[in-house]
Structure 1
Amino acid sequence: MTHYLFLGIVLGLSAGFAPGPLLALVISETLRHGIGAGIRVALSPLITDTLIILLTLFALSQLSDFKGILGVISLIGGIFILYMGYESLRPKAVVMNITDVRPNSLLKGVLANMLSPHPYLFWLSVGGSIMAGALEVGVIALLAFLFGFYASLVGAKITTALLVAQSKAFLQGRAYTWIMRILGCALCLLAVLLFRDGLSLLGIAVF
């Protein structure tokens, strides 16, 4: 269970701090409407990801006896995580749009997350592979992974909103750069583990 909790925390922190549409919206809403608006945007994945996770779990329940398919999913997830790690090792400036003054921050966050390909790619590859392994251990392991992931994901975005409210220079500072680089190294390690699990499920001898 601890293993899956750790995986959830690392992946959640990486996704939470990574530049993207949702993080940019958290920042712009914080700057435009205050910390409360930024926090509402940060909470939007709790709404949008529920259906994706349920569909992924349903698909996994149909494929649970097909180790070859799960092996391929693990390899695809490893590639995706490796790419995330590479991007985190080379953090870019966050592009913000603060010209939009419309209210309804939570709704805007929900729409931004629903229209982004990242949640779908994550849960249908990386998340699906990890949830499959967690289900073999037990429901508690699955819940530990999901809790760790969303507590870290939402927590990272709320932390970003708080830091931006206090210091708008945070995202251009060295602290943010080093946070992303450390998380990038952790993601590259997780990618190796996913490759190992995928090859093992395919019946290929691994280290």
Structure 2
Amino acid sequence: MTIELIFATSFVVGLTGAMMPGPLLTLTVAESARHGFRAGPLLVLGHGILEAALIVALTAGLAAVLVRAEVTAAIAVIGGAFLIWMGYSIARDALRGRVQLAVAAGGNPGAAAGTAAVPALPRLVGLGIATSLSNPYFTLWWATIGLGYITLSLERGPAGLTAFFTGHILADLAWYSLVAAAVAGSGRFLTPRIYRGILAVCGSFLVTLGGYFIWSGLVRNLWLG
């Protein structure tokens, strides 16, 4: 993959993962109702600090192992299979209306945001870290898809890894900022139908990318290695 493609696909994959309902999304809705738009980016800051530390830990101890063809192939196949499963599940649930984004609950969050005091940065950043750690899906994602992307990115060296992390964290920032803005604006900017449509498209993309991961692991690293 080129640097540009690593960045672009990392952004889409990160966006899809961020969009799925979970603890951080719930916290973003709650804190944005209390503190307004700025709660979203501050929570993502905490989330990003944790992810950056995790990437450093993975690459510092595993970089020498990850460049081996058989290890790269195994990670790519496992990550690709999980990616296909996750993408299919996301698209299926979105098309069947099983996922909802209840941004309008609790009255008019925009009014609350307008009167709230400036949020304490350390508190919201800390909540972003703690909430991410409490989510089992977070660990599963990094142990499979995330590790596969790190391996793939390392083929381009530090620039590839930087492109991967930048695309990933910008996806988180874009989504949770959008959610925070929707909550602060009483949910007028993101309807359930649009939300499910975006998820369906992203889920289909994940299935395709998962197939590429498996092809990359088997064909490029083993059969053609």
TM-score (norm 2): 0.79
The letter of the residue matching 2:139 is Y
Q: Is 1:196 the counterpart of 2:203 in the alignment? A: no
- The residue aligned with 1:83 is 85
% identity of equivalent residues: 26
- The residue aligned with 1:93 is 100
Q: Is the 8 A contact 1:41 1:108 kept in 2?
A: yes
- The residue aligned with 1:122 is 141
- 1:157 is displaced (CA, Å) by 1.0
Q: 2:154 aligns with which of 118, 135, 152?
A: 135
For structure 1, which segment, 29-38 or 184-193, has the greater mean C-alpha deviation from structure 2 after superposition?
Answer: 29-38
- 1:172 is displaced (CA, Å) by 5.7
- The residue aligned with 1:25 is 27
Question: 3-state DSSP class of the match of 2:21?
Answer: coil
Alpha-carbon distance in 2 for matches of 1:105, 1:122: 23
**Gapped runs of 5+ residues in structure 1?**
none
Q: Is 1:175 the counterpart of 2:186 in the alignment? A: no
**Gapped runs of 5+ residues in structure 2?**
107-119
- 1:169 is displaced (CA, Å) by 6.4
Alpha-carbon distance in 1 for matches of 2:24, 2:198: 18
Q: Is the 8 A contact 1:93 1:171 kept in 2?
A: no
Please list the CA deviations of residues 143-188 of structure 1 after superposition, one character each: whole Å capped at 9, or x if unmatched: 1121111111221111111122213366662111101111111111
Alpha-carbon distance in 2 for matches of 1:55, 1:14: 24
- 1:65 is displaced (CA, Å) by 4.5
TM-score (norm 1): 0.85
- The residue aligned with 2:51 is 49
Q: Is 1:111 the counterpart of 2:130 in the alignment? A: yes
For structure 1, which segment, 82-91 or 179-188, has the greater mean C-alpha deviation from structure 2 after superposition?
Answer: 82-91
For structure 1, which segment, 195-204 or 174-183, has the greater mean C-alpha deviation from structure 2 after superposition?
Answer: 195-204
For structure 1, which segment, 145-154 or 40-49, has the greater mean C-alpha deviation from structure 2 after superposition?
Answer: 40-49
Question: 3-state DSSP class of the match of 1:153?
Answer: helix
- 1:53 is displaced (CA, Å) by 0.7
Number of residues of Structure 1 aligned to a counterpart in Structure 2: 202
Alpha-carbon distance in 2 for matches of 1:202, 1:138: 17
- Compared CA separation, residues 168 and 180, structure 1 to 2 (3 A): same
- Compared CA separation, residues 109 and 95, structure 1 to 2 (3 A): farther
Q: Is the 8 A contact 1:48 1:110 kept in 2?
A: yes
